[in-house]
Structure 1
Amino acid sequence: MTHKQKPVIGISSGDINGIGIELIIKAFSDQRLLDICTPVVFASNKVVNFYRKTVHESNFSFYHTKELDKINPKQVTIFNCWDEEVNITPGTLNETGGRYAVSSLQAAVGALKEKKIEGLVTAPIHKANVQCERFSYTGHTPFLRDSFQARDVVMMLCADNMRVALVTEHVPISEVARHITSEAILSKLAIINSSLQKDFGISKPRIAVLGLNPHAGDEGLVGNEEQTIIGPAIRQAKNNGILAFGPYSADAFFARGQYSKFDAVLAMYHDQGLIPFKSLAQGEGVNYTAGLDIVRTSPDHGVAFDIAGKDQADAGSFLQAVYSCADIISQRKEYSEQRQNPMRKVAPDVVSRLEDEKIEE
């Protein structure tokens, strides 16, 4: 891949008292990462230098600027979002960490809108700590949905060929059931189906849908959402040309490895999908926001205040987020070219199966 072909990927700092900057330093200490992308970190060279001193084995160098037109394709570029001295207190939950996390994220979103960068990798924020007039969201996903005026988006966790998506995200358990509607499920399934095609190159994706209740309701004995809402939504999705299956009992589905037969799994709520995903992904998972015009990924973990500033953070998930961002940008370009030139020879799709393959429901 030449420098001209490399995507320019923005990286937000996350909470500056968390592990975000440490992850960035560790990841980009491997110069080979510069062969697949041109990274632009939205932060401050002063903050980066503070954390560079805490990472003992790093080969991290950077160039800093206040002008996005002066990005260096052969180096990590720090785009200085602020000039003032900031009191950095690793591992501390305070207003400073949240304020500069929002400043970094908003600067990166501005660069995306101006097409100065092609994708975004977000370092972790503390959801309660970022609440302010400029940011009143429960996380990155709804903020990006509104920033790019998307009707709906899907939080999708990815690791190798395992993808777990959510109908509801950061919703209290006491409120989950009222958010489970046929309309919501159909919207998520349409986004997932489209994303698997254009972002992951899967021509005929198969999507499993989990039930809401234990044992997927046991035919109405343990709740009836499967019969009245989820099942009808799956049938309607099939009528819409989406290969959706279920509803499956969540415990048996993951315990028996059934997820490996599908290209994505739609879970009804956060922990139903993320507990098995994180257990199986073993630290290599990536959070992807499907349904946006832009590409956004992030590591699948939080700010980790308990180890911040101690040189103990594992950059594995963050690295995967960078790789995934670059891969999806490339895949989207390829998909767009194929759409514009349908006669162009397409490589065999190694991920999707024959349409008549039998999958047990």
Structure 2
Amino acid sequence: MKAENIIVGISIGDLNGIGGEIVLKTFEDARTLDFCTPVIFASAKTMNFLKTHFKSHINFHNINNINQLAKGKVNVFNCWNEPVKIEFGKEDVKIGRYAIKSLEAATNALKNNNIHVLVTAPINKHNIQSEDFKFPGHTDYLAQQLEGESLMFMVAESLRVGLLTDHVPVKDIIEHISEDLIEKKINTVYKSLKKDFKVSKPKIAVLGINPHTGDNGVIGSEDDNVLRPTLEKIRGEGKLVFGPYAADSFFGSGNYKNFDAIIATYHDQGLIPFKTLSFGQGVNFTAGLNKIRTSPDHGTAYEIAGKGEADSSSFKEAIFTAIQIYKNRFDYEILTSNPLKKQNK
């Protein structure tokens, strides 16, 4: 497939945040269209308002049907026609509804193979909640809509951090961690490294649950009773899985550089060091699903919304990471479906 034929769907996110700005900044550089054909799920009126506000020079190609898509242009798929009142920096339930309209339309296009990958601009997890949408974020929604075992996988070049538990309150983390969960998440990371990142023999490190991995039961027994036995079982299957490692020194010592991926037991244990090491360049990839979705590693940033100060670097990385994973999966399918081609390659 030629690069420009890879169709990248984009959900616009929270319109009062920086999503619109970083989307415009990404495609202001016309060279981006050499790598893909973008489709923004929003509306012509909304995107023209953002274009005027941010003094963008993009010429949109507006469509009401995905079959009207034009290769080599920035397409806008109309998910609504009415004007939207955008107030940058303000949390607004009405704006949350438009974020969900965009996400649902883009996800349907992904499910129906009308787009090849999905890149999501940031949403506000609070204002999207309703009787019809009760998910803490993109990952949980897409896990329901798409096939597979979803996993929040933060990637930035060779640094990759997966999570056993993602958007779970700290007080509930232990209740969620089980042998079954550990096995599922490690297998998802293992398969993703091979299929999505072309790592032939993945080496995976797992961080401990408790401080100092429990200090032989002095600071908790979960590492000894649940985590260690499960990792030993997985190693018996031939997978290169190591740990548990004490989380407090793992990144500072540089030990993370010795592995293809690190699995943290909960959100902040993994994302604080990840964002410290890669902020602005990191990408959130939902691994384990039958379709590809990425997003930038930041939120709506209400405090700078509308000011023209947003950095689009992470969103650009999300675009290119999605494209590369799509290509890697394509190559993987060819190699695994035809042993002769694999031998020749």
Match of 2:292 among 292, 295, 298: 295
TM score, norm. by length of structure 1: 0.93
After superposition, where does 1:90-239 map in structure 2 within 5 Å?
90-150=88-148, 152-239=149-236
* 1:128 to partner: Cα distance: 0.8
After superposition, the Cα gap between the structure-2 partners of 1:140 and 1:36, relative to the gap in structure 1 and judged at 3 Å, is same
Match of 1:313 among 304, 310, 313: 310
Cα distance between partner residues in 1 of 2:136 and 2:169: 12
Cα distance between partner residues in 2 of 1:44 and 1:117: 17
Q: Deviations over 1:130-157 (max 9, x none)?
A: 001221001000100001143x311000
What residue identity is the alignment partner of 1:289? T
Residue of structure 2 in register with 1:29 after alignment = 28
* 1:6 to partner: Cα distance: 3.0
Kindly tell me the number of residue pairs found equivalent between the two proteins: 345
Q: Deviations over 1:290-340 (max 9, x none)?
A: 110000000010011111111011000000000000000000000000012
Residue of structure 2 in register with 1:11 after alignment = 10
Residue of structure 1 in register with 2:274 after alignment = 277
2:36 touches 2:72 (CA, 8 Å); kept in 1?
A: no
**Structure 1 residue matching 2:215: 3-state secondary structure:** helix
* 1:346 to partner: Cα distance: 6.7
After superposition, the Cα gap between the structure-2 partners of 1:61 and 1:241, relative to the gap in structure 1 and judged at 3 Å, is farther
Cα distance between partner residues in 1 of 2:313 and 2:143: 26
1:207 touches 1:265 (CA, 8 Å); kept in 2?
A: yes
Residue of structure 1 in register with 2:2 after alignment = 2
1:26 touches 1:60 (CA, 8 Å); kept in 2?
A: no
Match of 1:240 among 237, 244, 252: 237
Residue of structure 2 in register with 1:74 after alignment = 72
2:44 touches 2:78 (CA, 8 Å); kept in 1?
A: yes
* 1:239 to partner: Cα distance: 2.1
- Return 5+ residue gaps in structure 1 as ranges: 349-361
1:30 touches 1:59 (CA, 8 Å); kept in 2?
A: no
1:122 touches 1:298 (CA, 8 Å); kept in 2?
A: yes
What residue identity is the alignment partner of 1:32? R
Cα distance between partner residues in 1 of 2:265 and 2:324: 28
2:40 touches 2:77 (CA, 8 Å); kept in 1?
A: yes
Which aligned runs of 4 or more in structure 1 are off by greater than 3 angstroms? 345-348
**Structure 2 residue matching 1:153: 3-state secondary structure:** strand
Cα distance between partner residues in 2 of 1:172 and 1:2: 44
* 1:107 to partner: Cα distance: 0.2
* 1:237 to partner: Cα distance: 1.3
What residue identity is the alignment partner of 1:292? L
After superposition, the Cα gap between the structure-2 partners of 1:347 and 1:189, relative to the gap in structure 1 and judged at 3 Å, is farther
What residue identity is the alignment partner of 2:6? P
More helix per residue: 1 or 2? 2
Cα distance between partner residues in 2 of 1:244 and 1:280: 23
What residue identity is the alignment partner of 2:199? I
**Percent identity at matched positions?**
46
* 1:70 to partner: Cα distance: 1.1
Residue of structure 2 in register with 1:53 after alignment = 52
* 1:97 to partner: Cα distance: 1.4
Q: Deviations over 1:117-136 (max 9, x none)?
A: 01100000000110012210
337-346 or 106-115, which moves further after superposition?
337-346
**Structure 2 residue matching 1:16: 3-state secondary structure:** coil
**Structure 1 residue matching 2:114: 3-state secondary structure:** coil
Match of 2:265 among 268, 277, 281: 268
* 1:54 to partner: Cα distance: 2.5
**Structure 2 residue matching 1:309: 3-state secondary structure:** coil
- Return 5+ residue gaps in structure 2 as ranges: none
* 1:2 to partner: Cα distance: 3.1
CA RMSD of aligned residues (A): 1.4
**Structure 2 residue matching 1:41: 3-state secondary structure:** strand
1:12 touches 1:42 (CA, 8 Å); kept in 2?
A: yes
47-56 or 132-141, which moves further after superposition?
47-56
Cα distance between partner residues in 1 of 2:168 and 2:122: 19
After superposition, the Cα gap between the structure-2 partners of 1:346 and 1:281, relative to the gap in structure 1 and judged at 3 Å, is farther
Cα distance between partner residues in 2 of 1:173 and 1:273: 13
Q: Deviations over 1:5-27 (max 9, x none)?
A: 63111000001111111111000
What residue identity is the alignment partner of 1:342? P
After superposition, the Cα gap between the structure-2 partners of 1:45 and 1:347, relative to the gap in structure 1 and judged at 3 Å, is farther
2:13 touches 2:120 (CA, 8 Å); kept in 1?
A: yes
What residue identity is the alignment partner of 2:28? S
Cα distance between partner residues in 1 of 2:127 and 2:161: 27
Cα distance between partner residues in 1 of 2:236 and 2:140: 29
Residue of structure 2 in register with 1:336 after alignment = 333
